[in-house]
Structure 1
């Protein structure tokens, strides 16, 4: 057998020397070496392994003793730092209160922003195959590219029959505000709901679990429906919902055969009544043209789940092949189909999304600014207070206090303040969320016991606040020279000087002014959208939706409404001049061979439409009474896009719109039929009674209450089987800018909070500044200085800082807000008055904050000041 050297591993000896020294070490090493020699006949790897076990067995009591000693010392140090920190914070109540308040408000804002951002980012991520789910959209390539979230009716079947890339395909059609009644209920029980005609594969693509019913037969049997648990309870209470009958628009009876689990709040698919897709031919046959490829309706959509081994390139090629197969050469270039990923639906307003991602980024940046402002406020106050703690630090250093110990004492103070602030911030956010939910129409809440994401975020936030707020002041305090500190020989330069705090104040007020500039610009743009002339009358107009009405009843309603004293005019139409839903279609002049290379939007209304809304006819005449399409009014934009020289030349021309021929009888002045985000595009107005789903009533606001009561009474007599509801046109139009108004409200609140936090820091800073200038003020007053000049000592410092902050904030604010205004086709210009207002507001707030202490110092008795010094 091969013998090995009798030298034990040197690393084990070094490890041993860390635990014991001197004679004890030599004695233990001797015993261990003897043990190693006894293992000479064993393989080297086994010999060394046994030796290591023996070493560790020897060291176990020493390690336990050393660990207990370390833990004891460490625990004692933590207890000491904790007690000292509590005493220090109690002694400086103003300092503690200002810091806690500033951090609490800033962190509460960040918590609310985190909950909001996480909520929106979580939309439709819970579906099993969410990474593979797509919606097919239509791109219309004409003079411009227009995007429609709907598709032609035959598209789903074409994908299934012509290609194999899809694992599942589902066509769905959404119909909003449908009348739902319960025939079996004795008395009146009516509801307004959104219904969905869906193919069975829809629930194979999206994960909405069925809690009752046969999943193999849902949406396959005709005249059936499935509803959510909430709807079932709403309609039938504690009664058995399965087998019950509901009626849609007083004409389509459906038997409930399944119950869906209540929908989560973080999905854009909030519809709760589903009907087999085949039922659409009985309810809305115009939506069920199986071979009509030119009808693209935004409410008729197609969802696909591609096979896992299929690439997006293959799918794009297949969708392009559909255009080539089912359209002629010209239209195959116009109608293009693309995929929109499920994760993009919520964030694409052009395709019906709720909010843009850049708005979430804006919120996240505001939250970042709020934390920066709060931390800067903390650092500012801590460094300003440092001179008052110089003797404390000096004594501790002379008594043997190490720099690390002093640093960790200040970190302990910071931790206590931060932890208290986070606890209060969670409570403040909890009470603020109901207002946020009302603003955003959400159902958000705080559940610290279950929400691991929020707990993780709060832990990280606590660490970040402690690190950024406490590190610099802690290192600065711990670095004081003991002799200079005990002699109170420290000056501003030893605590970073005014240059540091100047920079901090500039950061705070630059953020405040940036938010102020944003609030002013958004407020001015919103005021412009409300006050600008849209080209029609929107005041004192009531819109009443009609459902399943017949022409005979419309005429009766018109007669009754016209007799009401407060009613000035009545018209029936598909929509008001400005509406969120503005359908568009093709247009062709009769004398030309092909359709124009642009789409035209259209409105339908009777002969009273133009006078009621105050539309201006610049050439020709109004529409004559008719129930069908015979005549057209076009706007000036249409005349220009058709290449017609003058408005007069357009009168009398024959045009085809959506395949329906009519004569141009008048040209109306351009008006805004969409929000100010959009340009004024070609539009026509025509008569078509089958499409009239709204009744518009122009009223006199003098006797509003009695007029509204008379309208309701007459409505209920004419339509006893309908739900009476109305809203004012100007309120409908205001909803165009819902997201903009929400952003305005948020920026106003955050700007106010940022200013308050900045003022807290300014208040604390000027307090310490005045305390250290007491002698200077006394000497100046003895030498004859005026109160005005004394005030200027303090005022000039902060004036400089605010101007520098403004110079930093103004160009950045202009760039950000100018980018935001680019979302509006019709917008204001950012003038110098915007920046002047922001600067003046900041100055006024700073003057109020600094003024009290400055005036008190200027009016103080100089003799008393010098005696105290």
Structure 2
């Protein structure tokens, strides 16, 4: 009997190829999408979980006026001395960029670090060569990742080779590790031994001497972290005094929380994100699989009309309902298994493209992990049960007498259920459309709207030697492609320096945090920063004892001043040094919009002019940059030219959000495509059910437009019913997501109008195809059927 079921299933599948294709295609897309989404979510939610001691590892962060992931390099020696019970204490100092010379070739490397020997006892890496216990124990040692070793030395054995770092340190290669996975909060291309620079950077051992270092500790097993946290005030008092302890503390942050703790947004090594965002992406996967199951049910019931006589004959010949249920469920299982195989293959083919598109390190080999196989098995069983049970029970319930008499007499008691299912599909599509639009609006808002400065066609690059700055300026201005030039500590979105400030004159006696930017006299004009009161920056000299500065609106509001004119001439203190407000500028965005704008100080300080900012004329940008490269390289022969467009710098602040936007666009589109297949199935069912009705209406003079309207009105009503549910759900979900940003776009009614319009358009195209097809049938043929 089992072989009979198999034969019947194959005959049915081959006989109804279009039905089979639509079902398998929809399920294939949904399974491929779910697998890829699962890998993305698993990758993002398992940051740093691959380290064996991850559950006992903590980063020691500074909390004073703000949350800072960095601590003074003096903290680690003090921790080792005062807490001998800690299993490991490690110093890690991340560097954004550095110049490396390997052989005769120079490289501008991004993202390396200095680390002590304890670091390799805390974090687990796959070692290809070298000993983790000694690889960073001595000065002038370096551990390379596999790709960097290949980049520097090709096929040669890198062990024992020497690279030069920043024209200062000759580092011997003492280890090679596999490239780091993408889900690590401590990414690096190589690790240099901290002993190489320890003596140079440790003094002075001030608590607030923050220069980017991170401290990591590993607690003994079953050690109470709250107990250690409670001892931090006494620890600070002992080593740096009661005054420091009264204004600051050290917080122990679990390693697995680093990637998700958005209080610490200033870490360039690992941008933070929100867990809820990825749970939202997982919800999209759930929507996709539900939509695919609804498709299957709708198309199976539409197909059931054609199989009514088959059911009648089988029942007359003695088949029980249970046998028919097993047969139809077996057919579903066969289709689902086909889709699972094809979906897995499709996921493997598409995964590299999705990973590249979303800038993720996810390989095809991960599809073979036991957890992924288990998830795939669970999806298979779930889809079989969700998609197969209802059609099997419906098809097996036909009465032999009715089904053998005429197909058109068959009706389903589940028509209301199918309407609910299609309404659910429309609702899901509208939620995804609205959600994708809102994410897109927020991304545009983050990068383009109300920045407070002009970012167009601006490139920035370092000036390694300030003694050559005047020569560089003269040569740059001689380039016809250069429109404007300014020297500063950085562009408007480059955090230069943060200091404490207070203003006793207005009652602000407690220190607050301000950003300090060193700018020249051309900076404000170049970036179109608006002056609200006072005068622009004027060149000063190193001999000036009083700092004459411009401040932003946020700063004067902190001082309790609303009118910019009244802020002029006020004296205040920056790190206890006197300063005078000579001007007030309009607020501009200098950090991620996850945070409120900070107070900001602009001052002329030639010693801080480490960056050149150039606005390039749009006529021939490529040749202009090539010319800048040539003259820069001639001046700084020991360095390698590297520039960054300001647009790219702003975009880099929202890497995680861009990943999500890309994912939403991709997978929401897939969900909508799969939903169209389901709508096609229900319209096909309606067309079969109303064959004679259409024939009669045509005989009585109904036009093709009337026939299309006959089919469309029911589904258009379902769209509006689903919209009434989907709109508030989408508004609630996206409002929660936007709450993560200090500045956010407005959710207007136009977003939901677009969502319902797109739904109507998609439904209209799908319905029109089937209804026009039914309306073009010869009425004589329809009435004879």
Please classify the TM superposition score into its range, dividing by the shorter chain length.
over 0.9
Q: Residue 59 of structure 2 is aligned with which of 121, 130, 135? A: 135
TM-score normalised over the length of structure 1: 0.85
Provide the residue aligned with 2:599 in structure 1: 682
Q: Tell whether 2:491 aligns with 1:576.
A: yes
Q: Is the 8 A contact 1:180 1:193 kept in 2?
A: no
Aligned to 1:31: none
Q: CA–CA distance in 2 between the matches of 1:232 and 1:522?
A: 40
Deviates more, 1:831-840 or 1:781-790: 781-790
What's the offset of the Cα at 1:782?
Answer: 3.2
Alignment pair present for 1:460 and 2:378: yes
Cα 1:656/1:503, change in 2 over 3 Å: same
Shift of 1:390: 1.4
Residue in structure 1 matching 2:335, options 390, 407, 417: 417
Structure 2 SS opposite 1:598: strand
Give the Å deviation of 1:328: 5.4
Alpha-carbon separation, structure 2, partners of 1:865 and 1:210: 74
Does residue 486 of structure 2 align to residue 566 of structure 1?
Answer: no
Tell me the CA shift for residue 210 of structure 1: 5.0
Q: 1:203 to 1:398 in 2, by over 3 A?
A: same
CA shift at 1:647, angstroms? 2.7
SS in 1 for 2:360: coil
Partner of 2:520 in structure 1? 606
Q: SS of the residue aligned with 1:346?
A: helix
> Whole-Å Cα distance in 1 between the matches of residues 349 and 522 of structure 2?
50
- Structure 1 residues 573 and 455, CA, compared in 2 at 3 Å: closer, same or farther? same
2 CA distance for matches of 1:387 and 1:188? 73
What SS does structure 1 have at the residue aligned with 2:619?
helix
Distance in 1 of aligned mates of 2:306 and 2:557: 76
Give the deviation of 1:331 after TM superposition. 4.3
For the 8 Å contact 2:108–2:642, the answer to whether it is kept is no
Deviations 1:822-842, CA, capped at 9 Å, x for gaps: 233333322221111111111
Task: Give the length in aligned residue pairs.
Answer: 777
Pairwise CA distance, 1:595 = 5.2
Q: Structure 2 vs 1, CA of residues 582 and 561 (structure 1 numbering), >3 Å: closer, same or farther?
A: closer
Q: Which residue of 2 aligns with 1:552?
A: 467
Partners of 1:860 and 1:81 lie apart in 2 by: 35
Q: What SS class does the counterpart of residue 197 from structure 2 fall into?
A: helix
Distance 1:407 1:323, change over 3 A: same
Work out whether 1:396 is the aligned partner of 2:319. no
Alignment partners' CA distance in 1, 2:259 and 2:353? 22
The superposition leaves residues 576-628 of structure 1 with CA deviations (integer Å, 9 ceiling, x where unpaired) of: 1123x454221133758985342112222223222221212222222332465
1:746-825 → structure 2 map (5 Å cutoff): 746-825=663-742
Q: Distance in 2 between matches of 1:414 and 1:119?
A: 32
| 3-state secondary structure, aligned to 2:591 | coil
1:150 maps onto 2:70 in alignment = yes
Tell me the CA shift for residue 382 of structure 1: 0.8
Distance 1:720 1:566 in 2: 23
Q: Distance in 2 between matches of 1:385 and 1:698?
A: 65
For the residue of structure 2 that corresponds to 1:610, the secondary structure is helix
Q: Report how far residue 209 of structure 1 moved.
A: 5.4
Query: For residues 211-245 of structure 1, what are the alpha-carbon distances to aligned partners after superposition, in whole Å with 9 as ceiling and x for unaligned?
Result: 54455544332233333343333212343434433
The equivalent position to 2:34 in structure 1, one of 95, 110, 116, is: 110
Residue 272, structure 1, aligned to residue 195, structure 2:
no
Alpha-carbon spacing, 1:403–1:583, altered in 2? closer, same or farther (3 Å): farther
Going from structure 1 to structure 2, the CA distance change for 1:167 and 1:856 (only over 3 Å counts) comes to closer
Q: Quick one: distance in 2 between partners of 1:320 and 1:107?
A: 53
Q: How does 1:224-243 map to 2 (within 5 A)?
A: 224-243=141-160
Report the RMSD for the aligned CA atoms in angstroms: 2.5
Deviation at 1:503, TM superposition (A): 0.9
How has the CA–CA distance of structure 1 residues 99 and 803 changed in structure 2, closer, same or farther, with 3 Å as cutoff? same
1:93 to partner: Cα distance: 1.0
How many angstroms apart in 2 are the aligned matches of 1:429 and 1:783? 52
What is the deviation of 1:412? 1.3
1-side partners of 2:562 and 2:721: how far apart?
56
Query: In structure 1, the residue corresponding to 2:49 is in which secondary structure?
Result: coil
Per mean C-alpha deviation after superposition, the further-off stretch among 474-483 and 238-247 is: 238-247
- SS for the counterpart of 2:99 is strand
* Cα separation, 2, equivalents of 1:555 and 1:281: 34
Q: Residue 376 of structure 1 is aligned with which of 285, 294, 308?
A: 294
Alignment partner of 1:744 is 2:657: no
| Pairing of 1:321-720 with structure 2 (within 5 A) | 321-326=234-239, 331-351=244-264, 352=267, 353-447=271-365, 450-488=368-406, 493=411, 495-546=412-463, 549-579=464-494, 581=495, 583-589=497-503, 596-626=510-540, 628=542, 630-644=547-561, 646-720=563-637
Contact 2:403 2:410 in 1 (8 A): no
Match in the other structure for 1:74: none
Superimposed CA distance per residue, residues 530-581 of structure 1 (whole angstroms, 9 cap, x where no aligned partner): 44232211112111134xx2221222211110111121222222221123x4
Displacement of 1:326: 4.4
Asked if the contact 1:387/1:491 (under 8 Å) is kept, the reply is no
Q: Distance in 1 between matches of 2:744 and 2:32?
A: 34
- Tell me the alpha carbon deviations over residues 469-505 of structure 1, each in whole angstroms, 9 at most, x when there is no partner: 1111112222333333333378564x33421210110
Aligned to 1:98: 22
Question: Secondary structure of 2:529's match?
Answer: coil
Secondary structure of residue in 1 paired with 2:597: coil
Name which structure has the greater RCO, CA cutoff 8 Å, separation 6+: 2
Residue 791 of structure 1, CA deviation: 2.9
**1:651-679: CA deviation from partner (whole Å, max 9, x where unpaired):** 33333323444332221111111233332
Counterpart contact for 2:502–2:512, Cα < 8 Å: no
Contact 2:488-2:610 at 8 Å conserved across structures: yes
CA contact (8 A) 2:138 2:196 kept: no
- Please list every run of 5 or more consecutive structure 2 residues that lacks an aligned counterpart in the other structure: none
